[in-house]
Amino acid sequence: MTHAKFRAQIRKAGLLATAIAALMASPALAKVTVLGWPGGPEETALRAAADAYNAKADVAGNDKVELLFFNRDGFWDKLQADLAAGSTAFDVNLLATYSIGRYAPFMEPVELSGEAEGVYGDAVLKTMQFEGKQYGVPTDLSLHFMYYRKDLIDALLNDDAAKARYGEISEKLLSKKLEPKDPDAWDWDDYAATALYFTQSVNPDSPTRYGTVLQIKNLLFNVMVWQSLPRAYGGDWMDAEGKVTVNSDAYRKGLETYKLLYDNGATPRDSLSYEFPEANAAYASGQVAAMLQWNAAASDLTSTEKSPAVAEVTETVAPPTGPAGRFTHIHGLGFGLNKNAANKEGGVKFLQWLSSKEAALTYARNNGAPALTPDVVKEVAEERPDLVKLGEFAGTYGYVMSGGTSAGALSVYELQAKEFTGYWSGQQSLDEALANTEKGMAELLK
């Protein structure tokens, strides 16, 4: 090959490489890349919403949405590392209520559409706020239901001998004589008394092995399930001055109630290693009378195919009440804007559309779990009756602990999970657990 031919070949190769690079680069620059939560109903809903958005005539070619998913395992840790590294691989990313504060330094607040407040309501929008600024659109909401066996409760309510036994058990173990009530009228003592009554080690005549199933593995999500109990007694993370307030009667009551149930065998002995799936499996076996669990379990536990032993006799109500009121922890998954987004303008346009009524209904009709206001949810009530209860409970009973969206929120949950499970398992006293938690939280929330 002559020198000239060689140079010509090199030039062609260079041109080809440039063309390929341009082809590969252009779609990434032109599109809005959205990082979603993979492998569940949230993915299905997001795909449907993205398709609907891309099909709109007024969405420019360079603002079309492309979706990006990576594995659920360690998702938040990977996202943390990506955001901190200034990744431009996505313009819009998933975020959760309890991690907003941690991600906020790498994200930008967004202005939602004018319809957002009417679609979601104030309590739900707050799940995506940090320091008064809106960081995301709350697309999926999680809260808790009290699942219970209607057949068992009805039998209890209609049997005088059973009522008397119930009273004896509550007097012996809770130091107060209680009468069985409809679960929608339960306070937390009624729940505890019912759990004890339906436990065979306490009441050998119980039709179920356990009265309840507690998920008390050392895991932050399990603290979220539990904390509606102290909340019902006025518990909060901090007071208005920012002082940590967990070393309180409310937290004592919550911790002691769980300890009493665990020590009396009202929950399986391995509950200290239980989380969502284990608790569901226990309840679905038909050997548990009532359980506080995430709303996400509702479809499985009321499906005759998946839970034949309990599906037709399972009912749900909001968690029990207390002197300070009736509460359910809520947190949302949502979407916000990456500070280093390559197509920031396109990302904002997508987020504004995502917060509209049209998007929320599309998302709801495709397996998503948005908490919608009564006016909006009625449009999908026939297809998604579960969303009616979700929206109602979120609006009426939903709360976020003070500091629950701060940068240290995740670490606070981790700390509480460690200290409280240490108490429930008998490795440390209640005083030690609360003192350690208070000290740790003061450090994390300062």
> At closest approach, how far in Å is the CB of 334 from other proteins?
20
Cβ closer to other proteins: 105 or 385? 105
How many Å apart are CA 207 and CA 432, to the nearest integer?
38
Cβ closer to other proteins: 38 or 234? 38
Cβ closer to other proteins: 163 or 259? 259
How many Å apart are CA 175 and CA 168, to the nearest integer?
10
How many Å apart are CA 336 and CA 138, to the nearest integer?
9
Measured torsion, CA atoms of residues 41, 306, 201, 172, in degrees rounded to the nearest 10: 50
Cβ closer to other proteins: 32 or 412? 412
How many Å apart are CA 77 and CA 340, to the nearest integer?
18
Cβ closer to other proteins: 273 or 356? 273
Give residue 179's identity as a one-letter amino acid code: E
Query: How many Å separate Cα 66 from the centre of its chain?
Result: 25
> At closest approach, how far in Å is the CB of 262 from other proteins?
10
> At closest approach, how far in Å is the CB of 211 from other proteins?
14
> At closest approach, how far in Å is the CB of 165 from other proteins?
21
Q: Tokens 């995740």 sit at which residue?
A: 410
Angle between helices 430-444 and 249-263 (to 10 degrees): 130
How many Å apart are CA 214 and CA 301, to the nearest integer?
16
Cβ closer to other proteins: 225 or 317? 225
Cβ closer to other proteins: 83 or 290? 83
Look at the alpha carbons of 241, 242, 243, 249 in this order and tell me if their dihedral is positive or negative.
positive
Report the 10 Å Cβ neighbour count for 107. 22
> At closest approach, how far in Å is the CB of 377 from other proteins?
35
Catalog residues that contact other proteins under the rule CB under 8 A. Answer: 74, 77, 80-81, 83-85, 102, 105-106, 209, 216-220, 268-270, 272-273, 278, 281-282, 284-285, 287, 407-408, 410-411, 414-415, 418-419, 421-428, 444
- Which tokens in the block code for residue 427? 């490795």
Cβ closer to other proteins: 218 or 321? 218
- How does strand 288-294 pair with strand 144-149? antiparallel
> At closest approach, how far in Å is the CB of 73 from other proteins?
8
> At closest approach, how far in Å is the CB of 274 from other proteins?
9
> At closest approach, how far in Å is the CB of 339 from other proteins?
11
How many Å apart are CA 64 and CA 27, to the nearest integer?
10
> At closest approach, how far in Å is the CB of 266 from other proteins?
12
Secondary structure class of 363 (helix, strand, coil): helix
Give the residue among 398, 366, 396, 397 at the shortest CA–CA distance from 384: 366
Cβ closer to other proteins: 400 or 410? 410
Q: What share of the chain is helix, strand, coil (3-state, %, to 5)?
A: 50, 15, 35
